[in-house]
Amino acid sequence: MTLKLGVPSKGRLMEKTFDWFGARGVQLSRTGSDREYAAAVQGVEDVSLVLLSAGEIPRELAAGRIHMGVTGTDLVHEKIADWRSKIVRIEEMGFGQADLVLAVPKSWVDVETLDDLDAVAAQFRRNHGFRLRIATKYHNLIHAHLRAYGVADYQLVDSQGATEGTVANRTAEAIADITSTGETLRANHLKVLSGVPVLRSQATLFASRMADWGETEKAALQELGSVMGRDMTEGVIHD
């Protein structure tokens, strides 16, 4: 057996992940074409690389099918209920930063806070006979956030892409999405509600509590931590 390390399979997130490990003495690389999901690890023994989409990695960690993985904080919090019982956060990696925010049309001049949104939502339902729609793919996080602030008169509309366009397309009145610069929101005439974001996210190295940590995998984790200059066993390996 080997320690299975799941990393994003393409794009800047994969490149940044490879760079991050490389700067710490562990070389990750693809060994096939762009259409092949083959990869290699140099610098530590008994570690195999598994290339997955960032959205698949939380599920594989929670199921124990991979021992470690790199993915966004937002995806772990959204996809895994009670994630701390199944996954350990090892280290934030300093890239892929983005905020999960709620945004409304700029034309809503009197809506700046969640309290304002709550008032508008109640009025919207009275005027239109249905609840204000918020487009998002982060259903669990947004439900929890709005419940915590007492916002009730809304419905979530599933959006897996081009969320910012749903207001212009009149399939939603507001959105909740991840953003790093806010440029796309501004281009679509949306503004972010004031206050702290729903969640601050970045690429993070996680380990699975659910995986089979045999002697080979434990030794590989300890060696990986030694090469990278930090203890990675806390919360993962128990005597």
Domains of the chain: 3-96+203-228 (3.40.190.10), 98-200 (3.40.190.10)
pLDDT value of position 38: 63
pLDDT value of position 33: 58
pLDDT value of position 43: 92
pLDDT value of position 36: 54
CB atoms within 10 A of CB 13: 20
Pairing of β 199-201 and β 98-105: antiparallel
Could you give the CA distance from residue 164 to residue 187 in angstroms, rounded to a whole number? 9
pLDDT value of position 107: 95
- With a cut of 50, list the residues of the chain below it in pLDDT: none
Instruction: Report the predicted TM-score, pTM, of the whole model to 2 decimal places.
Output: 0.90
CB 177 within 8 A of CB 164: yes
CB atoms within 10 A of CB 188: 18
pLDDT value of position 74: 96
Which residues lie across from 69 on neighbouring strands? 6, 206
pLDDT value of position 221: 95
Could you give the CA distance from residue 226 to residue 239 in angstroms, rounded to a whole number? 19
Could you give the CA distance from residue 76 to residue 230 in angstroms, rounded to a whole number? 23
pLDDT value of position 162: 84
